[in-house]
Copies of this chain bind each other. A is one copy, B any other.
Amino acid sequence: MEYTKPLAKLIEYFQKLPSIGPKTAQRLALYVIKMSENEVRNFAEALIDAKTTISYCDVCFNMSSANPCEICSNPTRNKSIVCVVAETKDLMAIEKTNEYSGVYHVLQGLISPIDGIGPDDIRIKELLFRVNQNNITEVILALNPSVEGEATSLYLSKLLKPFNVKITRIAFGLPMGSELEYADEMTLAKALEGRVEL
């Protein structure tokens, strides 16, 4: 089928976004055409605004339009605890729990030799610099329980050892509300391994 040109172009742009297939792209584009012109202009402006004003925090490498970011410059945050995450989206996931009041360090990736990502390609030296310079008492490693996440955690814990800080890792185990019967072997093994005394 032949779409009218401006529609075809818009569908193409929507399709470039992650998790948007051709059917959803068409639906979104048709929806945009039914929005008011004012709304569409605001949406377009929000896109450009987000892209042009958001950069990375010089302290923790979180995405922000402020520098240092809102979290690093928040006086109620405990600056002596640093939670290390791979990406901004992981930071967001932790923030949503409302359980953490320390600060973060976004590595902007994980060590992955297959993808050609070595320790120097992510923000490791900046983390060591922070730990060295500031009064940091605990570093929490909150990386994905994947091969890359585990490798990066191991690497970081070795590097951080000499700095006399407590190094912890988030717990891996059964997700809340799940059933033991249906847990995979790896998860169950981790849950056993990480058992805690009651």
What residues make up the interface of A, taking CB atoms closer than 8 Å to B? 1-7, 9-10, 12-13, 16-20, 24, 26-33, 35, 37, 39-54, 63-66, 69-70, 88-89, 92, 95-96, 98
Contact = CB atoms under 8 A, between A and B. Distances in A.
Contact of A6 (B1, B2, B16, B65): B65
Q: How many copies does the complex hold?
A: 2
B89 A6 contact: no
B89 A30 contact: yes
Given A19-B27, A33-B51, A52-B37, A46 B6 contact: yes
A6 B37 contact: no
Given A17-B28, A33-B54, A6 B49 contact: yes
Contact of A46 (B10, B24, B35): B10
